[in-house]
Structure 1
Amino acid sequence: MARTTLSMPISPQTKEDAIRENVMRAAQHLFQQHGLNNVTLEDVARAIGKGKSTLYYYYKSKEEIFMAVMDREISEVITEVALAVKQAGTAEEKLQAFCATKLRALRKKLALYSLVCSEMFSNAEFGCTMRQRYLQRESKLLKDILAFGMETGEIRALSSQEQEALVFIMLSGLNGLELEMVHNTNNPREQDFAISMLARVMIHGIGA
């Protein structure tokens, strides 16, 4: 008896989702292998066995495809970071988990996207655009950690202005470490120690 599920019609939305997924997977592989600058829409179309005109129906440019790929990669990092923060006990441990998990996840991505990362950070405008796409989500996680610390008494009551400043300082420090990962080959242990110091100073200050 024939399997009727094979003949069931696929909704147009499902077909579009499948094509988008194929495009993103093909583009992801090409970006990893050749970098953003050396990949064209023709390359992506050829990789999925479609014409360039088909790609234009879903994406206007290779940069738009790249943004979609990076959004998914960044979402994976944010999800991993949020889980690590949730599992940590104290505010200091949550800050350490936030920083350490983010940098560890980015190290993995850097290994996959070494060419792309170099291109991104050599183009300040493009790198800033990518950073802004997930900065709000990172800020929300850090503000939640500060709120947790204030609720448990680990952190004194902070004004909204102070919280904004602390989040800015933390993310700026992490951004510096991210740049070091891209441009230098620093020992990860040194970065991990710097993360612990950053979290400790954020919670306890540098007094005796």
Structure 2
Amino acid sequence: MTNKKDLKRENIITAAGRVFGKHGFREARMENIAEEADMGKSSLYYYFISKEELFEAVVEREAENLKNEIILATKDIIDPYKRMKKYVIARMNAFNESINLYTAVKTNYLDHLPFIEKVRSKYDKEEMKMVESILKDGVRNNRFKLVNTELATVAIVTAIKGLEYNIVIREGPYKLEQQVEQLLMFLFYGIVKRH
């Protein structure tokens, strides 16, 4: 019985993701989600007591999927520079496809929802952890020379976030790899001319 209930819950989250992605949190209605999930509205409330709770489940799933996609894309890459490049590309692509997570992390109109700050904080910590791990591997393998990996992590994550809109949304995915390469060259080699 629990298995069937879990499966139904997952189907509802999938349907809700499509509805929230299409209409946004404000405009999405539980009726739309119930219809998309091919069930009655009252049945939907058996699984989720509110639209907020359902949106939280959708955002958490997208965040977990994002993390898994990034791990999968980078796990077999040994060279830390190449792994960082692959990390940034995978992150930009996956984040762009996670419309509900993007909305939760980037927009202010959802700030009134109690779980939003928790999601943002968890996402930020995960991202910092992944980037710092790559940097520490680079230092350990004598590929990177860093005095303070924590500060470098903050700088890289901030740069990535600052360029999200420009690279992914405005420029489009076709320029992503080229833009990421330029960003990493700047971050890793700086702007000082070497003799």
Using structure 1 for the length normalisation, give the TM-score.
0.74
Distance change in 2, residues 1:180/1:200 (3 Å): closer
The yes-or-no answer on 1:145 pairing with 2:134 is yes
Partner residue, 1:49: 39
Describe the superposition over 1:121-152 as per-residue Cα deviations: whole angstroms up to 9, x where unpaired: 25373776543232222222111101110111
What's the CA shift string for 1:143-180, capped at 9, x where partnerless?
A: 1101110111011253xxx2222221111112122233
Whether 1:31 and 2:20 are equivalent positions in the alignment is yes
Q: Report how many residues are paired.
A: 188
User: What is the match of residue 156 of structure 2?
Assistant: 170
Counterpart CA distance in 2 for 1:128 and 1:196 is 31
1:197 equivalent among 179, 182, 188: 182
- Tell me if structure 2 keeps the 8 A contact 1:92–1:200: no
- Counterpart of 1:5? none
Bigger Rg, which one: 1
C-alpha distance in 2 between matches for 1:139 and 1:75: 15
Change (3 A) 1:193 1:87: same
Unaligned runs of 5+ in 2: none
Query: What letter is aligned with 1:163?
Result: T
Counterpart position of 1:97: 86
Q: Partner letter of residue 39 of structure 1?
A: A
Equivalent position of 1:4 in the other structure? none
Determine the C-alpha separation between the residues in 2 that align with 1:90 and 1:123.
40
How large is the RMSD of aligned CA atoms in angstroms? 2.9
Cα offset for 1:20?
A: 0.9
Which letter maps to 1:142? V
1:39 to 1:16, Cα distance in 2 relative to 1, 3 A: same
Q: Deviations over 1:89-135 (max 9, x none)?
A: 3211111111111112233345xx6xx84995253737765432322
Distance 1:50 1:201 in 2: 54
How many percent identity over aligned positions?
A: 24
Aligned partner of residue 37 in structure 1, secondary structure: helix
Alpha-carbon offset, residue 84 of structure 1: 2.2
3-state SS of the aligned residue for 1:26? helix
Provide structure 1 residue ranges, at least 5 long, that are not aligned to the other structure. Answer: 1-10
Closer, same or farther: CA 76–199 of 1 in aligned 2, 3 Å:
same
1:40 aligns with 2:29: yes
